Amino acid sequence: MNKSPRFLSARATAVSLAVMAVSLVAGQALAQTKTLYIGMNGGTMEKTYTGHVFGAFEKANNVKVVVVPGTSSDILAKAQANKDNPQMHVMFLDDGIMYRAIGMGLCEKMQASPALNDLFPTARFRGDMAAGVNIGMTGIAYNKRMFTEKGWAPPTSWMDLADPKFKGKVVFQSLSSSTFGLHGFLLFNRIQGGTDKNVEPGFKAWPTTIGPNVVEYIPSSAKIAEMVQTGEAAMFPLTPTAVGVLKDKGLPVEYVQPKEGSAVLTVGECVIAKNSEPALAHKLAQFLLSPEAQAAALEHGDQIPSNPKTKASGTAAALVKQMNDYMKTAVTVDWDVINENRPAWNARWNKTVER
């Protein structure tokens, strides 16, 4: 049966209105998708979180999480430069730099949540102004191939770095630019009778103990892989996670927990003060402390969980158990004292140790 022109016109109008309505709803839904920016280390960490962690949060909250990559110092500088008009919502920083950020007023206090309450005590920053998303520690790593060839027993103490047989074979990161180097020096300083407030014993003893064994002071750990391959490096401060990365590349390195203990190294997160989406930012921060998020980060990136309720199996479970054993003798350093005195320490180190 033929339709009248009026009927066809009305139908076309109805279809057009329906299409417009669908388009409008779709457009509104698209417009409601917000973007959160999070500062963190690039490389493995960025790939792990973007590929395997953020997705669940994005889907549940109709939000896109975008990483602003950089070192902790880079991220801190960006946050400080935009303090009055933040471009990021959440940031990950190494614990020492996180305490600086807190002191600059760049962080909001973490909101109470079950996940926050579940964290290891060492992962809760003073006043809950930040919280650890993963944990680690700085101990000693050694070149297993070299040790085997020389018939040396694996190191057991920070003072092994001062053993004369390792002369010209110790690599040490610079105190002035590396947390690993700073940790190693501070634990050596404690063995000499010093404290985080009093580093005189460490500086006094260094030239006649570890100092003569150091073949090179390096600004970061980036050069260690090369120095292991060339046989220049026998021992150096490093974390179990960093050792795992080197081993995955086929390098003959192993980690040992010194008998005097290691230094706790935590990557913390904080919600940036005055950010444009505080409710969503806090929600993201809480999610990243959850067992769900930390299980994904562990499985896909060997990020050791700060939440002990995180479930793990197989090699991941073995890794967590090992790290928990290391934590029994790990010590925390006083970052408030360190950050107050570090400029003077840096100058002294550069003048008297790396001269």
Structural domains of the chain ordered from first start: 30-135+266-324 (3.40.190.10), 136-263+334-352 (3.40.190.10)
Q: At 217, which amino acid appears?
A: Y
Cβ atoms within 10 Å of 320's Cβ, excluding its own: 18
The pLDDT value given to residue 263:
97
3-24 average pLDDT score: 52
- How confident is the model over 98-119, as a mean pLDDT? 97
> 210 Cβ partners below 8 Å, 6+ apart?
161, 162, 170, 172, 188
Q: What is the mean pLDDT of the chain?
A: 91
pLDDT(30) > 70 = no
36-59 pLDDT, tens digit each: 999 999 888 999 999 999 999 999
Question: Quick one: pLDDT at residue 222?
Answer: 85
pLDDT at res. 29: 46
Q: In this model, does residue 14 exceed pLDDT 80?
A: no
Please give the pLDDT value at position 10.
Answer: 52
Is the pLDDT at 26 greater than 80, yes or no?
no
Sign of the dihedral defined by the CA atoms of residues 294, 297, 298, 299, in that order: positive
- Show the beta-strand stretches assigned E in 2-148: 34-40, 63-69, 90-94, 107-108, 131-143
* Predicted pLDDT of residue 177: 87
pLDDT tens, residue by residue, 197-239: 999 999 999 999 999 999 999 988 889 999 999 999 999 999 9
Q: How are beta strands 34-40 and 90-94 bridged, if at all? A: parallel
For range 286-309, the mean pLDDT: 95
51/45 Cα distance (integer angstroms):
10
Express each pLDDT in 148-205 by its tens digit. 999 999 999 999 999 999 999 999 999 998 899 999 999 999 999 999 999 999 999 9
Q: Are strands 170-173 and 214-218 parallel, antiparallel or unpaired?
A: parallel
pLDDT for residue 259 is more than 60? yes
Angle at 331 between CA 252 and CA 269, to 5 degrees: 85
| Whole-angstrom distance, CA of residue 235 vs CA of residue 155 | 9
Reported confidence tier of residue 9, pLDDT bands at 50, 70, 90? low
pLDDT for 5: 53
Rg (CA), the chain: 25
Q: Phi and psi dihedrals of 92, rounded to 5?
A: -100, 130
Q: What is the pLDDT of residues 120-146, one digit of tens each?
A: 998 999 999 999 999 999 999 999 999
Residue 288 predicted with pLDDT over 60? yes
Q: Determine what percent of the chain falls in helix, strand and coil, rounding each to the nearest 5.
A: 50, 20, 30
Q: What is the mean pLDDT of residues 311-321?
A: 91
CA angle at 130 for the pair 128 and 136, rounded to the nearest 5°: 115
Among residues 116, 96, 122, 98, the alpha carbon closest in space to that of 330 is found at 122
Asked if pLDDT for residue 11 goes beyond 80, the answer is no
- 253 close to 228: Cβ distance less than 8 angstroms: yes
The CA distance from 190 to 329, in Å, is: 14
Over 90: is that where the pLDDT of 256 sits?
Answer: yes
How much of the chain exceeds pLDDT 70, in percent?
A: 91
